[in-house]
Structures are given as structure tokens and as C-alpha cells.
Amino acid sequence: MAVQLYNTLTRQKEVFHPLEEGKVKMYVCGPTVYNYIHIGNARSAVVFDMVRRYLIYRGYDVKYVTNFTDVDDKIIDAAKEAGEDVFALAEKFIEKFHEDTSALGVKRADLHPRVTETMPDIIAFIEGLIAKGYAYESAGDVYFKTRSFPDYGKLSGQSTDDLQAGARIEVGERKQDPLDFALWKQAKADEVSWESPWSQGRPGWHIECSAMVKKYLGETIDIHAGGQDLTFPHHENEVAQSEALTEEQMASYWLHNGYLQIDNEKMSKSLGNFVLVNDLIREYDPEKIRFFMLQSHYRQPLNFNAELVEAAGAGLSRIRTFLENVRHRYRTSADFADGEAWLQKIESFKGRFMNEMDDDFHSGNAITVLFDFVKEGNLYLQGPHTSREVLREIMNTFQEWGEVLGVTFFVEEDLLPADIEDYIEQRGKAREHRNFQEADRIRDLLKEEGIELEDTPQGTRWKRVSKS
């Protein structure tokens, strides 16, 4: 089965065909860095990190770009309130973004361009739109002529006639039409600004992403992604200005993740339920949070509360316990069983996992496949004989799935060093001869080496702990 994804642009599920065979150019809108990211921002980062990981798993060479909006009204206001330099504040929260998303298992993008580093390209982009008649300068500001782009509204499904009803020109705006949007804004006194042909100023929000997509990925890319709230006006305006300039389709596929709610209510500061990731990862294991997020389809609304996170954590622990048992059996059992039937069963589970992920990256259904595997795998472990080849393949399979989902199911470790293996064997012999003093001595010695032993009906098990 080929990868299929739901394309917001066409409002239907489509087979994925990259522009260049085997390669994917993907852009995900990043944060405006004036504060710690909230859990809604984190959902977008996590789900599109998962999409990227799965495309790599399917053999694609993915170039993944996520931007930072590091100059904006919100940043300027936050810097004034904190008495900090604008650029220092933005830099601080860029680092905090990396820390928080890294804790959630999000890999860094191949490129993290910043608005402040892309200013010449933004200015050149705006100049091109003016030259083609799609934009105009007005007393130091520059606006995009929305009605000049015939396809405006094709991404969000809103027409200019629908938008006209509620549109108005705000006090201080110098645009000709209420539907026009800013490409360049003249700076106020004492605001950070850049020189341009029109004024000392800074770019509007929408033009920034268009310029960065064009500079770092090209005129047409495979996938453009972000939160559902960005569909309009941000992504709609990106489409208009990019395609007006290049006369090429901006992106083949548009992906949008669903909203996140807190205890079935919309997250907002006024309701007092605004959850910052930096606070959340101090309270919960970040991998529980990620696993929780991936148990729902990315396009569906996601309700967040403590009970649901803990339930996801319990499921994650169930998988980890199963794999600990697999690894213990692999270390301690002889290879008596014929594993052919179970090797075929593993391939069947792999196929089911891939089918679910191929179907618009349905990680929730894919995780159900994992739990089905664990259920059958536990029955296999209860049998008298197991195949070491099967046990090894189970561990390899979950390691692959963990890489796709960005979750650590178990830490791969080498077998114990030979001298410690010898100690475990010596202790076993001491116990057989009822020399419990020697057995206890060896147990204590291993604990000093960071190895804790547990005697079970199936044999002696061990795990790594902090050294005594």
C-alpha cells in the first residue's frame, strides 16, 4: 500500500506522489518565540515529527524545515514588559523551544531559519509582488491586493465575497481594501526595524514563511504543515502571495493537525487552563505525553487531562514490561523452538502497522497493532520453548516502531560483560549448594556495579540501577 494523506487543499485523501522520486521537501510552521510553547504548539511539533519519521522509515529522503518567527509585535511587547532586549528574549525562547520539544522526542529540523536572517529575501519577495501588480505601497506600509489573486480562498474554502461581509479597515491601517493584508509595516518609534525601499520597518507575519519556503526549499514543495488554526488566514495568505509571485503551486499537499482541548474546554489564558510544556514536563514523563498525543489521529481534536496521560503511560509501561521479558528470555533460554511460524506472524504485524501508518499516518491505530502484538507475544513467552531468532526479531521490530513513533520502548544494551556473567553463574551454583552467604556476597558485589538481581520462578533476572 502506498502512503496516503488527507490534503486540506483538495479536502480528500490522496496517494502521496513526491515531486522528485524518493525525496520529500517538507515545511512546518514554527513558533513565534515570545514565551514557552504551550501544549497545542507541542502537538503540532510531535505529530509532524512523527510524519517525518515515518516517511524516512518508508525510504524517503526528507528535507525538513521549521522556522522561527523571531521578530513580531508579541515579541516586542514581551521584551518591553520584561525589560529585555528583543533579540535576547527571542534567543532565550528559541533555546527553550529546543529543550521542551527535545524532551518530547522531537528531532531538530534540518534547517531552522529565522525571520531576522531572511530579511533580504523577504524584501526581494515583496518587491517582486509590487512589480507584478499584486501589492502596493501606502505611506511606508506595503499590502497584498487580495482580490488580484483569483484563487484566493482555495485552501480554506472561503471566498472573497464571504470575507467581505465582516471585513473592515482598522484605525491606523492604510490599505485600499479591507481584505488586503500587510506585507511590510513601517516601524513605530524605538521599535526594532530594517531598512527597505518603503520605510524603516519589518515584515508582516505571512510573507515571512513564503520567503523562507522559497529560499530553503524552492518554489514548489511537497508538504506544508501546521496547526488547524493556521489554515486561515496564515496559510491562505501564503498560498496567495507565493503563487502570485512564482506562478507555480506552492505545495502539493497541506496537512493540518486538530485542536487540543484541556478537560474538554478550549485552552485559553482567560479560562486559566493555558498549559505550558515547560511546566508539564516537570510533572509528567515527557514520553508519556508524546505517547498520549500519538494515540489519537492527528487530524482529530485531542482532549488533554491528567487521567488520559496516565492511562497512556500505563500502556507504554505494558509494552516496556513485555520487552523486558523478551530480553530476559533471550538472555537466559536455550534455542529449542522452530521459529518459522512466529517469524511469519511478526511480518504480519509489521504489515498491519505499515497499513495503518500509510493511511494518513494513523498512529492511534498503529499503536493498537502494538498492543495486539504484546497480547500474543505474552502468550508466546508463557510457552515452554522459544526461538532466540524470534525473540531477537521481536526486539528489532519494536525498536523500529519506537523510532517511527519517537518513543523509547527499551534501551538496547549489550549482554553483560563476561566477568559479571561469570558472577551470575557462580551465584547460581552457590544457591544450588545452599551456600547463601556466597550468593549474597555476589549479589551485593553486582549491586555495587549497578546490576540488581531478581530471583523468579523462570530464573534470575537483572536490571541496571544506580551504583551503590
Q: In what order do the strands lie in the sheet with 23-28?
A: 61-66, 23-28, 221-227, 251-257
Q: For residue 32, which amino acid is it?
A: T
Is 29 labelled a binding residue?
yes
d(CA 207, CA 218): 15
Residue 352 class from Cβ within 10 Å (0-12 exposed, 13-18 middle, 19+ buried)? middle
Cis peptide before 197 (omega within 30 of 0): no
CA dihedral 262, 267, 273, 278 (to 10 degrees): 90
Q: Spell out the residues 6+ positions from residue 290 whose beta carbon is closer than 8 angstroms to its own.
A: 46, 104, 105, 405, 406, 407
Closest CA relative to residue 280, chosen from 314, 308, 243: 308
- How far lies 280's CA from each of 38, 78, 265, 277, 414, in Å? 9, 22, 18, 5, 34
Residue 190 class from Cβ within 10 Å (0-12 exposed, 13-18 middle, 19+ buried)? exposed
| 175 phi and psi angles, rounded to 5 deg | -85, 160
d(CA 278, CA 36): 7
Q: For residue 1, which amino acid is it?
A: M
d(CA 29, CA 6): 18
Is 234 labelled a binding residue?
yes
H or E element at residue 215: helix 205-216
Closest CA relative to residue 50, chosen from 28, 68, 79: 28
Q: For residue 96, which amino acid is it?
A: K
d(CA 14, CA 26): 17
Nine cell digits for residue 259: 485542536
**Which residues make up each annotated binding site for Zn(2+)?**
29, 209, 234, 238
**Which residues make up each annotated binding site?**
29, 209, 234, 238, 269
**Which residues make up each annotated binding site for ATP?**
269
